[in-house]
Amino acid sequence: MFDLGESLFIQRMSCFCLVFLTIGYYCQCIQFVHKEKDPKYWNAGAQQTLRTALTLQTLNTNKAKNLILFLGDGMGIPTVTAARILKGQLNGQSGEETQLEMDKFPFVSLAKTYNTNAQVPDSAGTATAYLCGVKANEGTVGVSAAAVRSQCNTTEGNEVTSILRWAKDAGKSVGIVTTTRVNHATPSASYAHSVDRDWYSDNEMPAEALQAGCKDIARQLFENIPNIDVIMGGGRKYMFPKNTSDVEYPSVAKHSGTRKDERNLVQEWIDRMKDKKGHYVWNKKQLLSLNPNNVDYLLGLFEPGDLTYDLERNTETDPSLTEMVEVAIKILRKNPSGFYLLVEGGRIDHGHHEGKAKQALYEAVEMDRAIGRADLMTSIHDTMTIVTADHSHMFNFGGYTARGNTIFGLAPMLSDVDQKPFTSILYGNGPGYKLVNGVRENVSTIDYEENNYQAQAAVPLSMETHGGEDVAVFAKGPLAHLLHGVHEQNYIPHVMAYAACIGQNREHCMSRSGTADLRPVLSGIVALLTVTRLLC
């Protein structure tokens, strides 16, 4: 029998679930709440977690054959939490108790995201940090902080190389998969050296930069590391001569080619790869019809610009991030020396900038789905996988919402200042700032769960800004325990390189056993302690 207090609580829960979800879900809510009232439930769960934690004392010191970096652009910790709740609610659960795939990773740390010249960073300077191992100025990719944004003559001599290049030089296959343009800030730092992240093609570059010999980022994609094994994302228009009609949107002028140099970079790639099992695709059907065993190089450009949001994706013609990741791994893993793969859930960031939390969170859930697919296709014994973000956003949720409240729903109270309701999700700034007759809009009069609803913001801006707090770094696989505590963001590629014995981290490796020999590091620490003791 329930006591009176429990009965009233269940009544409130059932009413809530009926309003916001379904009657079937209401029954699950009652069962769920009743289970959690028993201390045995929480004690058993904690004991199981403890047993799992104790197994982590046996560290995985294998050599990493494969490296995968999942980068959720703009995926700050509030976004991770909200995506977790959304994932659970999409599966008919309350949501809070759900596990994301990244939640299952045994090691978690924090990364400081500031740029060398910015307290709150952008995606270019951060990408240079977690891909090239060097912190840099905002707006620049693949160059050190000695380079000045938009000043072409500061490029030469300040180039820095990425872990993708280190892996390629070590004989591994390498790939880039993104939901943005393949020449956007995040992917471009893995192959380009540009003092301006916006130099997508020569059309976006000033005349003086072109005259000084600087190259646009699309051109660098094919010239700097000419044999990147897998490239998938958007950005078709930057590869074709100016005014060339797009294959998918021939009558839409904004999707036409942009290149002033009249080069067709896609055709040049096709010609170069025709005898190397190279394939170019631009839609889902072409992609999924490929036999990965017969593909060594793949170029997939699925949109003129960024890929569409997953909520708006045409599932017949446009591949999901998960589908792209699966094909990429099937191609890359054929290399006996292993692979490096950069995967970007890039439109999480765009959703937040537009104040469209629903778009952003669905993008995050899709990236988590891709992480799960990669997990099924690789082994923790020889594959280091890291999930992180480049920066956060001015996004959060709160308002004392009840357990199981739809993540896009209202807080359970009215404002005690203007007596109006408010959604749990809010932005610190952005396009959602709106006044009606001089006062805050009453959100109960509009569809705040619509896909493109712009959540209310405190400060009016046409585009919401990044946040400056640390981001989470989830890690599993060989030497994943080296990601611990709080680190500078540029530490990430150094750990990955050390685990895989590439780049400048090779001396500690024992190739015969397949394990990474930590003795040089440990002996160095012992020597340091000895010297310190003698000096004291």
Whether residue 1 is predicted with pLDDT greater than 50 in this model: the reply is no
In this predicted structure, the answer to whether residue 13 has a pLDDT above a threshold of 60 is no
Q: Which helix (H) or strand (E) holds 426?
A: strand 425-430
Smallest CA-to-CA distance from 113 within 61, 150, 76 is with: 76
Q: What is the pLDDT of residues 99-117, one digit of tens each?
A: 999 999 999 999 999 999 9
Using CA atoms, how far residue 189 sits from 10, 29, 119, 288, 398, in Å, is 53, 46, 20, 28, 35
| Mean pLDDT (whole number) for 379-389 | 98
As a whole number, mean pLDDT of residues 472-478 equals 98
Let me know if 123 is a catalytic residue: yes
User: Mean pLDDT across the chain, nearest whole number?
Assistant: 91
261 plus 317 within the same structural domain:
yes
Distance separating alpha carbons of residues 389 and 364, to the nearest angstrom:
11
Report the distance separating Cα 87 and Cα 100, nearest Å. Answer: 8
Same domain, 321 and 361: yes
In a domain, 336, yes or no: yes
Residue 372 phi, psi dihedral angles, 5° rounding = -65, -40
Q: Specify the pLDDT at position 514.
A: 54
424 & 474 share domain? no
**Would the pLDDT of 471 be above 70?**
yes
Of 261, 191, 186, the residue nearest 227 (C-alpha): 191
List the one residue out of 266, 284, 285 whose CA is nearest residue 274: 266
Which pLDDT band, with edges at 50, 70 and 90, does 5 fall under? very low
Q: Which residue among 94, 109, 123, 424 is the active-site one?
A: 123
Give residue 453's domain range: 398-464
Residue 492 corresponds to which amino acid?
Answer: I
Check pLDDT > 80 for residue 6: no
The model's pLDDT over 431-440, given as tens digits with 9 standing for 90+, comes to 999 999 999 9
Q: In the prediction, which pLDDT does 515 show?
A: 58
% helix / strand / coil in the chain, to the nearest 5? Answer: 40, 20, 45
Residue 430 and residue 298 share a domain: no
Q: Is 382 annotated as a binding residue?
A: no
38 is in an annotated binding site: no
Do 236 and 358 fall into the same domain? yes
Q: What is the pLDDT of residue 340?
A: 98
Judge whether 73 is annotated as a binding position: yes
Looking at the structure, tell me whether residues 482 and 403 fall in a common domain. Answer: no
State residue 31's pLDDT score. 55
| Number of structural domains the chain divides into | 2
- Clarify whether residues 489 and 411 are in a common domain: no
Same-domain check for residues 430 and 323: no
Instruction: Count the alpha carbons within 13 Å of 419 in the hemisphere toward its beta carbon.
Output: 0
Residue 184 labeled ligand binder:
yes
Residue whose token pair is 């988590």 = 368
Q: Is the pLDDT of residue 470 over 50?
A: yes
Cα gap 484→475, rounded to integer Å: 9
Residue 44 included in any domain: no
CA 453 to chain centre: 23
Q: Are residues 283 and 425 in the same domain?
A: no
CATH assignment of the domain containing 115: 3.40.720.10
For residue 459, what are the β-bridge partners?
A: 429
What one-character DSSP code corresponds to residue 245? P
- The length of the chain is 536
Structure tokens at 75: 């995926």
Asked if residue 32 is part of any domain, the answer here is no
The answer to whether the annotation marks 481 as part of a ligand binding site is no
Please write the tens of the pLDDT for every residue from 276-334: 999 999 999 999 999 999 999 999 999 999 999 999 999 999 999 999 999 999 999 99
- Indicate if 428 and 490 belong to the same structural domain: no
Tokens of residue 289, six digits: 């019809």
Q: Would residue 525 count as lying in a domain?
A: no
In a domain, 310, yes or no: yes
pLDDT mean over 65-79: 98
Residue 396 makes CB contacts below 8 A (sequence gap 6+) with: 78, 425, 426, 427, 428
Torsion of CA 109, 113, 119, 121, to 10 degrees: -150
Q: Tell whether 248 and 313 lie within a shared domain.
A: yes
Q: Say if residue 7's pLDDT is above 50.
A: no
Q: Is residue 39 part of a domain?
A: no
CA atoms within 13 Å, Cβ hemisphere of 88: 21
Report the DSSP beta bridge partners of residue 436. Answer: 439
415 within some domain? yes
Does residue 337 sit in the same domain as residue 450?
no
Q: Where does a domain end: 434, 464, 494?
A: 464
pLDDT, position 517: 56
Is residue 239 in a domain?
Answer: yes
CA dihedral 364→129→226→264, nearest 10 degrees, is 60
CA distance 40 to 258: 64
Helix (H) or strand (E) holding 428: strand 425-430
Q: Are the C-beta atoms of residues 110 and 485 closer than 8 Å to each other?
A: yes
**Would you place residue 35 in the very low, low, confident or very high pLDDT band (cuts 50, 70, 90)?**
confident
What is the predicted pLDDT for the residue at 19?
40
Q: Give the other-Cβ count within 10 Å of 241's Cβ.
A: 15
Q: What is d(CA 198, CA 368) in angstroms, rounded to the nearest whole number?
A: 28
Among candidates 188, 207, 162, which has minimal Cα distance to 67?
Answer: 162
Is 306 assigned a ligand-binding role in the annotation? no
Angle 481-88-425 (CA atoms, 0-180°, nearest 5)?
A: 95
Q: Is the pTM of this model over 0.85?
A: yes
Query: According to the annotation, is 271 in a ligand binding site?
Result: no
